[in-house]
Each structure stands twice: as C-alpha cells, then as structure tokens.
Amino acid sequence: MTAKLDSVQLTRDILRLNTINPPGDEEACARQLGGILEAAGFRIRYHSFGPTRVNLLADIGTQSSKAPLCFTGHIDVVPLGAAPWKKDPFAGETDAGKLFGRGSSDMKSGVAAFTVAAVRMAPYLANTAGLTLVITAGEETGCEGAFHLQKDGVLGRAGAVVVAEPTSNYPFVGHKGAFWLRAKTKGVTAHGSMPEKGDNAIYKAARAVEKLEAFRFSNPPHGLMGQATLNVGTIQGGLNINSVPDQATIGIDIRTVPTVNHAELLKTLTQQLGSEVELETLMDLESVYTDPREPWMHSVFEVMTSILGSRPTARVATYFTDAAALNRAYSDPPTVILGPGEPQMAHQTDEYCVIERIDQAVAAYEALIRGWCLD
C-alpha cells in the first residue's frame, strides 16, 4: 500500500481534515500521517501541548555518526477570512492543473510531498544517517508547536534542515527573524481637570514612539536581506477623555537580519528608551540563513538546477518559519526553505497549489535524501 502512496491524493486527504488555527485541532491529521509513516518503518512519537494539539516526530535510520536530514512542515492552517470562497476549502477540488483548499499551498502539499519521499526511500535507509521528520502544530500562531518541541528537549539531532513552506520549489536560503516587543509606560491617574496632580503615561509613550521612529540600526546590512526594520504597530492607553492615563502600551514589530543579535538589540533599545519605558519580549525568532556556497546548500542548488531546468539564484523568503525555533535545538545546521506551494497563495481566499509541483517536490526531496544518506 505504501509503495503506491500518491502525493496529490495524500495532499487532498489531509486537506479534508480541518486544522484551522485557532483552535488548531491537528491531532487527526498528525495521526493519519503517523500511521502512514509507522507502516513504512518509521519510529513515531506524538508530542502534545494541549487537547488535540499534537506534533508528530518520525525517525528512520539515524544509526550513523552523521546526524540525520530533517524535513519539517506545519499542519495547521490559517482561518478562511471574511471573503466567500468559490471553491470548497476542505474538499480538495481540482481544476485546470490546480488543487484548491485551505492549506493546499501553506503547506499541506509540502508535508504530503516529504512524507511520500520519505516513505519511498524508507527501505534503503536502515543503516544510514537517516531522516527525522518534524511535523508541527500551531505554527501560524507564532511557531507554538516548534517552540514546545525545542523547550521539551525532544528533537534529537539534525545535520541539515529542509522547510517545506511554499516556494514554488525554488530554494530559499533563509528568512528574516521576528522580534516582537511590547513597550509599557506607567503614570499616575488624576481627574482630567487637574492634570498637574497626575503623571501622564501617554506622554511618555509618545516620547517613546518618537524615539522608535528615529531609531537606526547600527549593524551592517545583510547582502541578501538588506537592513532590519522596525515598525510600531499598535498603541493603547488611557481609560477616558477626562482622566490622566496611568498606563500605555506600544506594540513593536522588528524584523531582523543575520547581522543583528536580538539580546544586544534589546539592550540598546532599553537604553535609548530610558527608564520610563518597560520592554517585554512577545516573540523572539532569530533570522535563518545559510551561505549558498556552504557545501550542502550548494548540493541543493545542483539538485534544483536539474529539476527546475535552470540554475536558481540565491533568494530569501519574506515570511518566517519553524526553522527559527527548531534550529535552536539543532545548533543552526544549514537550512533550505523549499516546497511545492505557491508563496503568493498563502493565507489567500481560494488558495491553491499547482498540482505538478507536488510530484516535482517529491523528486527533489528524494534526491536530497539520496544525497544525504546514500552517497
């Protein structure tokens, strides 16, 4: 049965399982994939971090001093959005070479493709470096599942990582980091008719926002990613118009490049904003980057040159991925983002993937497994 596993059919099968996050509900999908991999000889571990929130770890081989090759993908999907869909988001309908559904591009086609490649290669991997598949829940709400795996210390080793997020099968060598902070200011409330009796937290927040707008990164820009960015996305404060506000908060979205160290950046911002501002970290995902000249990344480009029919140039993804969380446990192995979905279809109404790219991804993944385990 497993030898005949079809990547397009498997994509449709797991599309039909609603894993919209929130709430996620990834368990049925994780167990379906776990059953397929177990039948093919993989060691399976389910790792849950809440009711029906289940990550799946699957290993084969890993009997060598060389660490295994890791494939990773998430099985949760984003909500459908307010606009009506012309296609049923959970039926796996096909039309004119496209497969429609929530998660078709982001990223159940990618998970299906590496599952099929892993099952097909399984009979040859017994005494090799092997594979470790990390299938996560809760990615869309800030890499929750991946962070639980990392914190619980259950990930083991990986010598290189393939993230099957949508890239139209184009190899991306990295992505920016996301460093989300909340700045808080405090004051003393008083009646709005006697502001001199209070201490206005919004004025402090306003001074902080001005400093944040004027902030310039001192690190050198990165060759492919350019400079880091900072955006003030939210501001809240005050209870009513006739009181002096005693609290205000600012939401700061920083996208970092490999030349930025998050801990140092936090120190710098804390100093520049001064003692009237308190900073709290909401999300801390470092950037991911592998030099295209790194030997394994070079081999990925060789494989993709023959599969795509022309030599890819080094590009980076606009989104962040679970690799930022997983690579803390794996101590930053070379990492490529490479998957069959269409990046511009992620999170869209009437999301689709191009059917022929799914088998193209299977071929690419099989070649990468051969290169890692058998050459």
Stretch that binds Zn ion, among 103-111, 147-155, 205-213, 215-223 (CB under 5 A): 103-111
As a whole number of angstroms, the distance between CA 340 and CA 112 comes to 10
Query: In whole angstroms, how close is the CB of 223 to Zn ion at the nearest point?
Result: 25
3-state secondary structure of 308: helix
Residues 6+ apart with CB under 8 A from 263: none
Q: Give the nearer residue to Zn ion in terms of CB position, either 165 or 199.
A: 165
Kind and range of the H or E element at 156? none
Q: Which of 27, 106, 246, 322 binds Zn ion (CB under 5 A)?
A: 106
Extended beta strands in the chain, E state? 43-50, 53-60, 69-74, 94-95, 98-100, 131-136, 160-163, 172-175, 177-186, 229-237, 247-256, 278-285, 288-289, 315-317, 335-337, 352-354
In the complex, minimum distance from the CB of residue 42 to Zn ion, in angstroms, rounded to a whole number: 23
Rounded to whole angstroms, the Cα distance separating 213 from 338 reads 35
Write the binding mask 202 to 241 for Zn ion: x where contact by CB under 5 A, - elsewhere: ----------------------------------------
- Closest CB 157 distance from Zn ion, rounded Å: 24
User: Which residues in 148-177 contact Zn ion (CB under 5 A)?
Assistant: 165
Question: Alpha-carbon distance 104 to 74, whole Å?
Answer: 12
Q: Which is nearer to Zn ion, 138 or 237 (CB)?
A: 138
Closest CB to Zn ion among residues 12, 74: 74
With H, G, I as helix, E, B as strand and everything else as coil, classify residue 30: helix
Tell me the DSSP string of 46-59: EEEEETTEEEEEEE
Question: CA-to-CA distance for 339 and 170, rounded, in angstroms?
Answer: 7
Q: Give me the 70-89 binding string for Zn ion, x by CB under 5 A, dash otherwise.
A: --------------------
Which of these ranges, 102-110, 185-193, 194-202, 204-212, lies near Zn ion under the rule CB under 5 A? Answer: 102-110
Q: Quick one: 112 or 205, whose CB is closer to Zn ion?
A: 112
Binding part of the chain for Zn ion, among 88-96, 98-106, 180-188, 209-217 by CB under 5 A, reads: 98-106
Residue 126 Cβ, how far from Zn ion at the closest point, in Å?
32
Identity of residue 306 = S
CA distances from 184 to 159, 187, 206, 288 (A): 41, 10, 11, 29
74 versus 184: smaller Cβ distance to Zn ion: 74
Based on CB atoms, which residue is closest to Zn ion, 54 or 107?
A: 107
DSSP 331-347: TS--EEE--SS-GGGTT
Q: Tell the smallest beta-carbon distance from residue 89 to Zn ion (Å).
A: 16
User: CB 139 → Zn ion: shortest distance, Å?
Assistant: 6
Decide the pairing of beta strands 177-186 and 53-60.
unpaired
Closest approach, Cβ 125 to Zn ion, in A, equals: 27
Report how many residues bind Zn ion under the rule CB under 5 A. Answer: 3
- From the list 106-114, 175-183, 230-238, 249-257, the region that binds Zn ion by CB under 5 A is 106-114
Closer Cβ to Zn ion, 107 or 111, answer by number: 107
**Nearer of residues 317 and 367 to Zn ion, judged by Cβ:** 317
- Residues 38 and 106: their CA atoms lie apart, in Å, by 25
Looking at beta carbons, which residue is closest to Zn ion?
106
* Pairwise CA distance, residues 117 & 113, whole Å: 6
- Kindly state the smallest distance separating residue 74's Cβ from Zn ion, in Å: 6
Pair 80, 149: CB distance under 8 Å: no
107: contact with Zn ion by CB under 5 A: yes
Distance in Å, CB of 112 to Zn ion, minimum: 14
Minimum distance of Zn ion from residue 5's CB (angstroms): 23
Residues that bind Zn ion (CB under 5 A): 106-107, 165
